[in-house]
Structure 1
Amino acid sequence: VKTVDAGALVGGVTATALDTNITAQRDLVIIIPIVLVVILFILMLLLRSVVAPVLLVLSVVLSYGAAMGVSAVVFNSLLGFPGADATVPLFGFVFLVALGVD
C-alpha cells in the first residue's frame, strides 16, 4: 500500500482483527507480570511469609497454564474450532487469579 500511496489507510475486518491480536498479545506481556507481582507483594504482607505467597502464585501460574493448554487441545483437536478470541487468555488469567488466590 505504501508504494501506491504513502497516505493510504487500510481498514476493515482484517485490519481490526490484526489490531486486536497485537493489542491482546501486548496486554498479556504487560498485565500478567504486573498482576502477579502485586498479588505476591500483598500476600507477603498479609501472610508475613515469603515461601507461602510464592507457592500460591506458582500454583496460580500452573493452573493458568494447564487451563490454557487443556482448552487449546479440546477446542483445536477434539471439537475442531481452531483459533480463539484474542482476549480469552487475559480473561482466563483474570478469573483464574481471582479464584486461585482466594
Structure 2
Amino acid sequence: MKRSRRSAARTWWDGFVAPRRASTARSLTRAKARGEINGEVDAEWICDLLTGPLICRAFLGGYRGLPDELAEETTRFVMSSLATADSNSLAEPLRPGTQN
C-alpha cells in the first residue's frame, strides 16, 4: 500500500472509526452498569457485529444496495441478544436524541 493510502486509512480510522467504536464501548459499559447486559461483553466484537453488515452491504452488496433500515435492524438484533430478561430498553430501536 502506498504511503498516502496508509496515511488516508489512518486518518479515516483515527478521525471517524475509532471515536465511534469508543462511544459504543462507553455505551456498553453504562448498560452493563445499569444491569441491562448479561455477562462479560467484548466491545470490539460488538462493534464488529454492528458494523459488519453495513460494510458488507455497502462494499460487497452490488445490486442490493444499502437498505435504510439495515442499521436499525442490526442494532436491535445485537442489543436484544445482549439484554437481560428484565431489560427491554436495549431491544427498542435507538432514536436520535434518546439516551440508551
Kindly indicate which of the two structures has a greater share of residues assigned to helix: 1
Q: Which has the higher contact order (CA 8 A, sep 6+)?
A: 1
> What is the TM-score of this pair, normalised by structure 2?
0.40
Q: Which has the larger radius of gyration?
A: 1
> What is the TM-score of this pair, normalised by structure 1?
0.40
